A and B are shown apart, each in its own frame.
Chain A
Amino acid sequence: MKVVAVIPALNEETRIGDVIRSVKPYVDSIIVVDDGSRDQTPKVAKDSGADTVISHADNCGAGAATMTGISAARMLGATVVITLDADGQHDPADIPALLAPIREGKCDAVFANRFGRRNKIPLIRRLFNMIGNMVTFGATGKWVADSQCGFKAFGPTALEQLDLKMNGFEFCSEIVREAVQHRWRIEQVPTKVMYSEYTLAKGQSFAGGVKTALKLLLRSFIR
Chain B
Amino acid sequence: MLPTPYQIIAPLVALIAILYAWNLVFRQKKTIWEATLWTLFWGAIVGIAIYPDVIDYLTVATGIQDRENAVLVTFLGILSFIVFYLVVRLEEMEQRLTRIVRMQALKDVRMDEKDRK
Contacts and interface: CB of A to CB of B under 8 A. Distances in A.
Interface in A55-112: 55-58, 60-61, 64, 67-68, 71-72, 74-75, 77
28 contacts: A33-B105, A54-B106, A54-B108, A54-B111, A55-B108, A56-B101, A57-B101, A60-B98, A60-B101, A64-B98, A67-B102, A68-B105, A71-B106, A71-B111, A72-B111, A75-B112, A75-B113, A75-B117, A140-B31, A141-B32, A141-B33, A167-B98, A180-B33, A219-B91, A220-B37, A221-B37, A223-B29, A223-B30
A53 B37 CA distance: 41
Interface residues of B, number: 30
Most chain B CB within 10 A, of A58, A64, A67, A165, is at: A64
Interface of A: 33, 52-58, 60-61, 64, 67-68, 71-72, 74-75, 77, 139-141, 165, 167, 177, 180-181, 218-223
Interface of B: 24, 28-34, 37-38, 87-88, 91, 94-95, 97-98, 101-102, 104-106, 108-109, 111-113, 115-117
B101 A58 contact: yes
A7 B28 CA distance: 29
Q: Which 10 A-B pairs have the closest CB atoms?
A: A141-B33, A68-B102, A64-B98, A60-B98, A54-B105, A75-B111, A56-B105, A220-B34, A222-B88, A56-B101
Among B28, B29, B101, B109, which residue has the most Cβ atoms of chain A within 10 A? B101
A56 B33 contact: no
Given A55-B108, A56-B105, A222-B91, A181 B31 contact: yes
Most B CB within 10 A of own CB, among A55, A72, A140, A221: A221
Given A53-B109, A54-B106, A74-B117, 7 more contacts: A57-B104, A60-B102, A67-B102, A71-B113, A75-B112, A221-B38, A223-B34
A9 B47 CA distance: 49
B31 A177 contact: yes
Contacts of A141: 31-33
A60 B94 CA distance: 9
Contacts of B28: 181
Given A68-B102, A141-B33, A220-B37, A52 B109 contact: yes
A56 B109 CA distance: 11
